Amino acid sequence: MNREQLLQYATAIVVLGLCVAGTAQTQQSKPAQNSPQAAKQQPTATHANNQNQSEGQTIFEQNCARCHTPPDGFSPRISGTIVRHMRVRANLSAHDEQELLRFFNP
Amino acid sequence: MPKRFSSLARKAIKLRLVLFVLTVFGVSRCGIAQNTPLLSGGLGFFTSTNGGATSYLPIAEPLVAFPLGNSFLVESRATLLESFNPKGGGQDGYNHSHLVALTYLQGDYILSPHITVVGGSFLTPFATYNERLSPIWIGNLQDGPLIAGLGVMQTATGLGGQLRGSAISRPKFSIDYAAYFSARSGNQQFNSARSSGGRVDLYLPKQRLEVGTSYGRLLQGTQENFYGIHVWWEPKDTGFRLRSEWARGAHGQGYWAEADWRMMQFGGYNSWIGRLEPVFRMQQTFNIGNVGGDPLPAVNTQRADFGLDYNLPHNTRILTSYSRQFSSTKDVNIWETGVTYRFLFPAWKGK
């Protein structure tokens, strides 16, 4: 990659980043009901009434939702299979796997 | 003779008993709470109008994951599609072709908290697109990036072994890795090139920033090196994602940078506006030395994709985009629309 191409690549990232930075700043000052924690649907039918963001939910947002939107819901009977699949695909640590499983099956 | 028959009969009964016990054990292990095998995947219907010619693509990508015991997982994804393309050359009508192929079929064994051993046919762990964004129910745009073929060793799958896992996981940062070796295979379903390589990622959870680098070496024919860098940034509570990759091969290089924003600030994640997702992707490819070989456009190409996705309830997405592609041979407009549905349920009834 020569200098000019590297510059183009870096510029594209920086410009896109700056475009949203202002938006992000504005949105963080808005009330909590607009946050995805309040608005997002929980990933399992069994997981409800979670006022405080658990560690498992954070891990879910950081690792699973990094690539794809959360599914509308799924059976708790496959939560262990999903977590194991995600452990391999997203290279989760053993701790993250346990917290994620607890999040799906509180 | 009767004695021998009796001996064979006893062996057959023992064999049946062993098979019965193994079956009961297997079913009981698979059927335990939370570890039921799953059937997932996506169904899609895409149309693409490229330079005035419209193609149609119904597609299905089923995925199965089958856990065994506490540490083993067998998983596979396949592709079934039928492609309808205009005949061209002044002729009316369409040609159609179909494809039924395994995308990957791998066994995963969690050896230790830091090491997972993967064997079989697996997605080549180079950069991010191939492993993470290629399923039809995940990608924001119908087309993959122009550089998606760089570093994935011709077929995007390897046949061999892989070590991967979380090397370090701390509250402030984590580092994960994947390293593989693939053998050469001409099998129709497990086609792969002899190659090796891997990827290392650094993730900063507070900043929601990921930076990673990849390396791959083709070990057959003219041996070549491939390098990649990726940067992902997904600021918390904004619905915004910025993903980018740069990759370089022996004969070409390029980058893509994609930004998408789920407009959840307007009434929430599931409001009708919050389900909208504008997408923009910029990409460029550059040939090196005018020698073909890498899976890139034959001439330097620039492309801008403007997408607008809508996330319907029940895991259904509508993907639309307009792209303008510039190159010295031809500038084209590409219009694409599609709908995808993602399914996810237990493979069978359980307790």
Please say whether the beta carbons of B116 and A88 come within 8 A. Answer: yes
Contact of A51 with chain B, judged by CB distance below 8 Å, is answered with: no
Are B155 and B65 members of one domain?
yes
Are A54 and A79 members of one domain?
yes
Distance (Å, rounded) from C-alpha B337 to C-alpha B142?
Answer: 8
Interface contact B238-A81, CB threshold 8 A: no
Domain that holds residue A9: 1-30
Task: Evaluate whether residue B284 is within a structural domain.
Answer: yes
Please say whether the beta carbons of B115 and B109 come within 8 A. Answer: no
pLDDT of B20 over the 90 cut: no
Are A24 and A42 members of one domain?
no
Interface contact B177-A74, CB threshold 8 A: no
Are B22 and B117 members of one domain?
no
**Poorest-confidence range of A23-32, B24-33, B244-253?**
A23-32
Are B113 and B189 members of one domain?
yes
Are A13 and A40 members of one domain?
no
SS3 of chain A: helix, strand, coil, percent, to 5: 65, 0, 35
Are A15 and A43 members of one domain?
no
Are A98 and A53 members of one domain?
yes
Q: What is the mean pLDDT of chain B?
A: 90
Interface contact A71-B342, CB threshold 8 A: yes
Minimal CA separation from A89 to chain B, in Å: 8
**Poorest-confidence range of A39-43, A75-79, B43-47?**
A39-43
Are A57 and A77 members of one domain?
yes
pLDDT the model gives residue A106: 77
pLDDT of B229 over the 90 cut: yes
**Poorest-confidence range of A61-65, B33-37, B146-150, B164-168?**
B33-37
Task: Evaluate whether residue B165 is within a structural domain.
Answer: yes
Q: Could you tell me which residue, B12 or A59, shows the higher pLDDT?
A: A59
Distance (Å, rounded) from C-alpha B153 to C-alpha B79?
Answer: 19
What is the full DSSP assignment across B60-118? Answer: EEEEEEEEETTTEEEEEEEEEEEEEEEEETTEEEEEEEEEEEEEEEEEEEEEETTEEEE
pLDDT band at residue A1 using 50, 70 and 90 as cut-offs: low
Number of domains in chain A: 2
Contact of B205 with chain A, judged by CB distance below 8 Å, is answered with: yes
Are B46 and B16 members of one domain?
no
pLDDT of B7 over the 90 cut: no
Are A4 and A53 members of one domain?
no
Are B218 and B298 members of one domain?
yes
B197 torsion bin: left (phi>0), alpha (psi -120 to 50), beta (else): left
Task: Evaluate whether residue B351 is within a structural domain.
Answer: no
Distance (Å, rounded) from C-alpha B296 to C-alpha B254?
Answer: 9
Please say whether the beta carbons of A91 and B176 come within 8 A. Answer: yes
pLDDT the model gives residue B24: 45
Are B186 and B214 members of one domain?
yes
Q: Which of A71, A78, A96 sits opposite B169 (nearest CB)?
A: A96
Query: What is the CATH number for B170?
Result: 2.40.160.10
Are B25 and B45 members of one domain?
no
Are B198 and B62 members of one domain?
yes
Distance (Å, rounded) from C-alpha B10 to C-alpha A78?
Answer: 40
pLDDT of B294 over the 80 cut: no
Are B91 and B114 members of one domain?
yes
Full-model pTM: 0.81
Number of domains in chain B: 2
Task: Evaluate whether residue B35 is within a structural domain.
Answer: no
Interface contact B237-A37, CB threshold 8 A: yes
Q: Which of A27, A72, A81 sits opposite B265 (nearest CB)?
A: A27
Task: Evaluate whether residue B154 is within a structural domain.
Answer: yes
Task: Evaluate whether residue B301 is within a structural domain.
Answer: yes
Tens of pLDDT, residue by residue over B98-119, are 999 999 999 999 999 999 999 9
Bridge partners, residue B303, by sequence: B283, B325
Interface contact B257-A62, CB threshold 8 A: no
Are A69 and A18 members of one domain?
no
**Tokens (6 digits) for B97:** 């072709």
Are A40 and A58 members of one domain?
yes
Q: What is the mean pLDDT of chain A?
A: 68
Tens of pLDDT, residue by residue over B187-220, are 988 999 999 999 999 999 999 999 999 999 999 9
Q: Give the mean pLDDT of B51-79.
A: 95
What is the full DSSP assignment across A44-84? Answer: STT-----SPPHHHHHIIIIITTTSPPPS---GGGHHHHHH
Are B181 and B55 members of one domain?
yes
Are B148 and B20 members of one domain?
no
Contact of A4 with chain B, judged by CB distance below 8 Å, is answered with: no
Are A4 and A23 members of one domain?
yes
pLDDT of B236 over the 60 cut: yes
Are B173 and B134 members of one domain?
yes
Are A21 and A42 members of one domain?
no
Domain that holds residue B98: 41-346
Q: Give the mean pLDDT of B224-245.
A: 96
Are A75 and A23 members of one domain?
no
